[in-house]
């Protein structure tokens, strides 16, 4: 394939060398003449393991050229990878000046091109950038249409500096955000041989995946470091503890707890987080990440409350009260918080939870109810049918197949259903279903 690469920093230079190694004809474009001179001379513009040898080899093999002529680069190639920097602006937003400038030039070049062209954005971009900001620029400057005369897509880059050639050859996955088959087919040809899964999604989702991955990595590092600072203060071997934490592949290093849902609660997580923060306070250890978890959890519960209030409906039915299916443990259940708020706001509330029978609640569980929703008994119903029948808005907080069957049977088209549990795709309700944030 004939490929042009815009921006020859870490991402662009490594892609250029690896694509040329894989047999493609690659032309590199950068505004920094020093980088172009280095590549012309068979040298690497970035310090990366293996790049000195690889760049010398691919340049000597005649597969690489460099230019500042954007027009020729677009006219003479089939596909462009855009890898310019998108650094932080002083206010924390993304400085897109380089990519905006490039897109104007790419559009002008497309004005003259008679054949279709694929533009692949590899720079990290805030969701919506490609479709709402960059596409209009290229369409305006070229007088041509995305999806007809050219194809825009977004493919986040996952290489890490220091191991970038290895990461290029073995990425965690390939994600392509596109609106049509044409650019996907081209990227399958380019990257389909890599030993990883190839996922196609929307452009916006592909843009966002990059942020979620980087944020997750940053959060993991900070979690380990905060845990280590606390371990140190408590005289515990942090390396040993985190080694053991990492050995749990069922709950710790797995997809468990990583799907969006409702706020957590129950008798363990909140109390243990509180005790952790107390230990840290006693030892003067600052743990901003761990300390932010309970407030964030509360914000999530408040989000559900706000959605219910914003609906304007006053007859609310809650399906589920305990903190998870199969238990009658109400301690710190975020659904109890919801009930408390709805009652406090004067809404009419009915609650169904197959596991919760007030007369059977004992000890701490019973005390929790006494403290938070002492009159909940007046709102509890033993059958789901009447709760559905007498509500305008239903909050589904229980993940249970029998509940879903009842909802499928009894929910009416005029009812709103706020889904806190990610209702399975197969569950078809007649009401207006809204996910909490999905």
Ligand X SMILES: NC(=O)c1ccc[n+]([C@@H]2O[C@H](COP(=O)([O-])OP(=O)(O)OC[C@H]3O[C@@H](n4cnc5c(N)ncnc54)[C@H](O)[C@@H]3O)[C@@H](O)[C@H]2O)c1
Only segment of 157-165, 286-294, 316-324, 374-382 that touches ligand X (CB under 6 A): 157-165
How far apart are alpha carbons 202 and 211 in whole angstroms? 15
Among 3, 4, 6, 319, binds ligand X (CB under 6 A): 6
Only segment of 5-13, 126-134, 297-305, 313-321 that touches ligand X (CB under 6 A): 5-13
User: Is 207 one of the binding residues for ligand X (CB under 6 A)?
Assistant: no
Nearer to ligand X, 29 or 373 (CB): 29
Strand-pair category, 416-419 with 432-435: parallel
How far apart are alpha carbons 18 and 24 in whole angstroms? 9
Tell me which of 153, 212, 246, 268 is the catalytic residue: 268
Q: Minimal CB distance to ligand X: which residue?
A: 9
Query: Which residues in the 60-89 window bind ligand X by CB under 6 A?
Result: 83-86
- Quote the radius of gyration of the chain (alpha carbons, Å): 28
How far apart are alpha carbons 53 and 43 in whole angstroms? 9
Sign of CA dihedral 365, 371, 372, 375: positive
In 319-338, which positions are buried (b, 16+ CB within 10 angstroms) versus exposed (e)? bbbbbbbeebbbbbbbbbbb
Only segment of 31-39, 269-277, 331-339, 351-359 that touches ligand X (CB under 6 A): 31-39
The verdict on whether 437 is a catalytic residue reads no
Nearer to ligand X, 156 or 354 (CB): 156
CB of 123 to ligand X, least distance (A): 3
How far apart are alpha carbons 381 and 378 in whole angstroms? 8
Nearby residues of 409 by Cβ (< 8 Å), 6 or more positions away:
none
Size of the site for ligand X (CB under 6 A): 25
CB of 158 to ligand X, least distance (A): 6
Beta bridge partners of 65: 27
Among 31, 231, 238, 241, binds ligand X (CB under 6 A): 31
Only segment of 16-24, 153-161, 318-326, 356-364 that touches ligand X (CB under 6 A): 153-161
User: Is 149 one of the binding residues for ligand X (CB under 6 A)?
Assistant: no
User: Is 159 one of the binding residues for ligand X (CB under 6 A)?
Assistant: yes
Nearby residues of 323 by Cβ (< 8 Å), 6 or more positions away:
264, 265, 266, 267, 329, 330, 331, 332, 333, 334, 335
User: Is 8 one of the binding residues for ligand X (CB under 6 A)?
Assistant: yes
Query: Which residues in the 78-137 window bind ligand X by CB under 6 A?
Result: 83-86, 98, 101-102, 123-124
CB of 101 to ligand X, least distance (A): 5
Nearer to ligand X, 98 or 185 (CB): 98
User: Is 328 one of the binding residues for ligand X (CB under 6 A)?
Assistant: no
How far apart are alpha carbons 175 and 155 in whole angstroms? 6
Nearer to ligand X, 32 or 272 (CB): 32
User: Is 10 one of the binding residues for ligand X (CB under 6 A)?
Assistant: yes
φ, ψ (nearest 5 deg) of residue 348 = -85, 125
Among 3, 4, 5, 12, binds ligand X (CB under 6 A): 12
How far apart are alpha carbons 99 and 89 in whole angstroms? 14
User: Is 160 one of the binding residues for ligand X (CB under 6 A)?
Assistant: yes
**H helix or E strand, kind and range, residue 200:** strand 198-201
Among 48, 157, 332, 419, binds ligand X (CB under 6 A): 157
Sign of CA dihedral 139, 142, 143, 146: negative
Residues in contact with ligand X by the rule CB under 6 A: 6-12, 29-32, 35, 83-86, 98, 101-102, 123-124, 157, 159-161
Catalytic residues: 268
């Amino acid at each position: 394939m004939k490929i042009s690469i815009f921006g020859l920093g870490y991402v662009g230079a490594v892609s250029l060398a690896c694509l040329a190694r894989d047999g493609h004809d690659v032309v590199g474009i950068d505004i920094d003449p020093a980088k172009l001179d280095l590549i012309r001379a068979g040298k690497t513009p970035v310090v990366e393991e293996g790049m000195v040898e690889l760049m010398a080899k691919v340049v000597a093999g005649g597969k690489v050229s460099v230019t500042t002529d954007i027009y020729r680069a677009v006219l003479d190639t089939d596909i462009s990878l855009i890898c310019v920097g998108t650094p932080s602006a002083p206010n924390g937003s993304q400085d897109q000046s380089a990519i905006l400038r490039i897109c104007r030039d790419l559009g002008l070049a497309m004005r003259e091109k008679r054949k279709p062209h694929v533009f692949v954005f590899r720079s990290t971009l805030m969701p919506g950038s490609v479709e709402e900001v960059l596409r209009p620029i290229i369409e305006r400057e070229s007088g041509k249409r995305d999806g007809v005369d050219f194809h825009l897509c977004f493919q986040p880059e996952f290489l890490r500096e220091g191991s970038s050639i290895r990461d290029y050859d073995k990425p965690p996955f390939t994600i392509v955000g596109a609106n049509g088959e044409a650019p996907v087919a081209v990227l399958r040809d380019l990257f389909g041989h890599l030993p990883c899964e190839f996922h196609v999604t929307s452009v916006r989702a592909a843009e966002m995946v990059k942020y979620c991955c980087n944020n997750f990595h940053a959060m993991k590092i900070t979690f380990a470091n905060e845990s280590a600072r606390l371990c140190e203060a408590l005289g515990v071997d942090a390396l040993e503890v985190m080694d053991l934490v990492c050995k749990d592949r069922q709950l710790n290093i797995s997809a468990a707890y990583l799907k969006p849902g409702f706020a957590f609660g129950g008798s363990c997580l909140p109390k243990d987080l509180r005790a952790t923060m107390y230990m840290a306070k006693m030892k003067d250890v600052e743990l901003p990440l761990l300390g932010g978890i309970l407030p964030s959890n509360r914000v999530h519960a408040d989000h559900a409350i706000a959605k219910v209030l914003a609906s304007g409906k006053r007859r609310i039915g809650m399906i589920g009260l305990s903190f998870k299916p199969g238990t009658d443990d109400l301690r710190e259940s975020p659904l109890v918080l919801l009930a408390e708020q709805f009652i406090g706001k004067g809404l009419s509330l009915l609650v169904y939870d197959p596991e919760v029978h007030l007369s059977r609640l004992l000890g701490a569980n019973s005390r929790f109810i006494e403290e938070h929703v002492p009159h909940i008994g007046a709102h509890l119903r033993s059958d789901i049918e009447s709760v559905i029948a007498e509500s305008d808005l239903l909050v589904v907080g229980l993940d249970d197949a029998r509940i879903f069957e009842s909802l499928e049977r009894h929910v009416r088209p005029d009812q709103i259903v706020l889904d806190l549990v990610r209702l399975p795709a197969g569950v078809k309700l007649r009401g207006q279903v809204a996910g909490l944030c999905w």
